[in-house]
A and B are shown apart, each in its own frame.
Chain A
Amino acid sequence: MIRLDDVGLHYGRAGHAGPEVLRGLSFVVPEGGFRWLLGPSGAGKTSLLRLLSLAARPSHGRLMVFGTDIGRVRRGELPELRRRIGMVFQDFRLLPHLSAYENVALPLRLAGRPERRIRTDVIEMLRWVGLGEALDARPAELSGGEQQRVAIARAVIARPSLLLADEPTGNLDDAQAQRLMRLIKEMNRLGATVVVATHNERLVERHPAPALRLERGRLVSNG
């Protein structure tokens, strides 16, 4: 499902290489696999998730996702691949001018699902994350925890094959965090490949799984 061979990433324009945020990454995550992504702040977890969510192409090395060489594929083929990935961002990245309902419906709209199906699925999903009463609320009207739940709902609504999450439990209380982990593990059980970046060591202890550990842009342990 995911395969990296000596992948590196640096920001900056062609000709002026910026600081290298990732280098020499090589690992494999099989289909249906679950990995924790661990490491101190600034280690490159967010950058790695950017690569895996196809928000950036590797500067060097080979990145394979869904069996496709991301560095080589045509730009026009990326949107279809992106629609098979669900990503929960650390800063939520909800569209501020849309309601919670509209935000969660967006991936289904992009996939061209019929409107009636969208309505059923979105309402059910928002109810599941405990926001059934807040369908029409704008993100600004919701608390941090509520926004995070909307972001999670948006990430999973289209049943992605690859689920990525960047600190998904940051704003959640313990009970909600537990519920989220149950959802993620359920999706993993149903076949989704999952990579979750977190600082929350307690969460990792409670749900043991193989971990990718990054430090200063390098992979220091895998397993």
Chain B
Amino acid sequence: MLPLLVAAMAFLAALALAGAFSAAALGRHWQQGAAAALTVQVPQPEAPAGQNAKRVDAVLAILDTTPGIASARALTTAELEDVLRPWLGNGAAPLSLPLPAVLEVHLAQSAPDLAALADRLQQAAPGTLVESHGQWVERLAVLVRSVQACALLALAMVAAVAAAVIAIGTRAGLAARRDAIEVVHGLGATDRYIAGRFARRAMRLALAGGVLGALAAVPVLLALARLAAPFLQTVAPPPLDAGLEAWAAWARTGPAAFWEGLPALPVAAGAIGWLTAHATVRRWLRRLP
């Protein structure tokens, strides 16, 4: 019975662990994308602006010479249509809307002073909008941290429940073997000897349960990762009926730390089993002289 309960705990722990790692990975992924980017919108891009032929070119010129900007590029019409498709369908071009030029700007390590940049761009081409994604990055970071905190809380609770289950099981074992324990105690066995025997058994059962639970979690996690893949724009997952090797290879493209950390679950389960049983038995033995 105990191994099954521990297996259930280990399964939940694996899910919680995966949640924590995934949140971190997602956060990093989005941050890398969002933090280092600006969107600059230039309305009436084709209109003339001072010396340069077009307003959009004036803006690009400033961006190219501003330190802290790694690259600046205008989205093509096709790309713009892609962005607007969710709202306007395929009719952006036929609608002949006066679309602004949307510039994708990537920042270097040392970001420029955005307020000053916005001013200069305004002077070159009035009406230019500079939108930093920093605000969203902030909110994202908070979200990721919250999810991680929840996952860690879940992990802690799972460990606590596993310990409680083991303690209850150990106490039941003690009650059932009370007479034999009293005899062995009377023969001069130390508390540590008696506790050690119970603890070793609990450790083996918990280890087995941990292995079972972790293994059971693997297909579930792979399935979830498969569902999330499109949103993460990671390597495409193999089809459902692909062989074990294809899945293993794909799994390795995920957060390595998680897959390396998974074997730690059965080990942790075994350790919790040993420690809890040992402590429970020693406490129980104190009632004997």
Those of B244-289 within 8 Å (CB) of chain A: 286, 289
Assess whether B186 is in contact with A56, with CB atoms less than 8 Å apart: no
Asked whether any CB of chain B lies closer than 8 Å to the CB of A168, the reply is no
User: A79 to B190, alpha carbons, bound, how many Å?
Assistant: 6
Among B185, B186, B187, B286, chain A packs the most CB atoms within 10 A around the CB of: B187
Is B1 located at the chain interface by the 8 A CB criterion?
no
Is B83 close to A, CB under 8 A?
Answer: no
Question: Chain A residues near B187 (CB, 8 Å)?
Answer: 82-83, 106-107, 110
Q: Any chain B CB within 8 A of the CB of A54?
A: yes
Closest B residue by C-beta to A86: B187
A96 to B179, CA, bound (A): 10
Interface size on B, residues (CB 8 A): 13
**Complex-state Cα separation, A80 to B192, whole angstroms:** 13
Closest to A80 in B: B188
Bound CA span A1–B289, Å: 21
B184:A78 contact, CB within 8 angstroms: no
The answer to whether residues A55 and B188 also contact, given A93-B183, A95-B180, A97-B180 and a CB cut-off of 8 A, is no
Is the CB of A57 closer than 8 A to any CB of chain B?
Answer: yes
| Set of chain B residues within 8 Å of A83, measured between Cβ atoms | 187-188
In the docked arrangement, what's the CA distance between A83 and B187, Å?
Answer: 6
Q: List chain A residues, Cβ under 8 A from B180.
A: 95-97
Residue of B nearest to A84 (CB): B188
How many residues does chain A have at the interface if contact means C-beta atoms less than 8 Å apart?
25
Find the B residue at minimum CB distance from A82.
Answer: B188
Query: What chain B residues lie within 8 Å of A54 (beta carbons)?
Result: 289
Residue ID in chain A nearest B189 by CB atoms = A110
A85 to B188, CA, bound (A): 9
Taking the closest CB of chain B, its distance from the CB of A214, in whole angstroms, is: 22
Interface pair A55/B289, CB less than 8 Å apart: yes
**Residue from B188, B190, B286 within 8 A of A107 (CB atoms):** B188
Question: How far does the alpha carbon of A185 sit from the alpha carbon of B255 in the complex, in Å?
Answer: 75
Shortest C-beta distance, B191 to chain A (Å), equals 8
Contact with A along B182-210 (1 / 0, CB 8 A): 01111111110100000000000000000
| B184 lies within 8 A of A106 (CB) | yes
- A79: shortest Cβ distance to chain B, in Å? 5
Q: Give B126 Cβ to nearest chain A Cβ, in Å.
A: 87
Kindly provide the distance from the CB of A104 to the nearest chain B CB, expressed in whole angstroms: 11
Q: Does A99 contact B (CB under 8 A)?
A: no
Asked if A95 and B183 make an inter-chain contact with CB atoms under 8 angstroms apart, the answer reads: yes
Most B Cβ at <10 Å: residue of A53, A95, A96: A95
Q: Does A87 contact B (CB under 8 A)?
A: yes
In the complex, whether A75 has a CB less than 8 A from a CB of chain B is yes
Cα distance A177–B187 when bound, in Å? 24
Is B289 touching A56 in the complex (CB atoms < 8 A)?
yes
Q: Please name all residues of chain B whose beta carbon is closer than 8 Å to the beta carbon of A75 when the two chains form the complex.
A: 286, 289
Task: Give Cα A82 to B289, complex, Å.
Answer: 11
The complex places the Cα of A191 from the Cα of B183 at a distance, in Å, of 26
Out of A78, A93, A107, A110, which one reaches B289, CB within 8 Å? A78
Nearest Cβ on chain A to B198's Cβ, whole angstroms: 15
Name the residue of chain B whose CB is nearest to the CB of A112: B193
Closest Cβ of chain B to A220, distance in Å, is 27
Interface residues of B (CB under 8 A from A): 180, 183-191, 193, 286, 289
A-B residue pairs in contact (CB < 8 Å), sample of 8: A53-B186, A55-B289, A78-B289, A82-B186, A83-B187, A84-B188, A85-B188, A110-B188
Given contacts A79-B190, A82-B188, A93-B183, 5 further A-B contacts (CB under 8 A): A76-B190, A83-B187, A84-B188, A95-B184, A107-B188
Q: A residues bordering B, Cβ < 8 Å?
A: 53-57, 75-76, 78-85, 87, 93-97, 106-107, 110-111
- Which A-B residue pairs are the 7 nearest by beta carbons? A83-B188, A82-B188, A79-B190, A79-B188, A93-B183, A95-B180, A110-B189
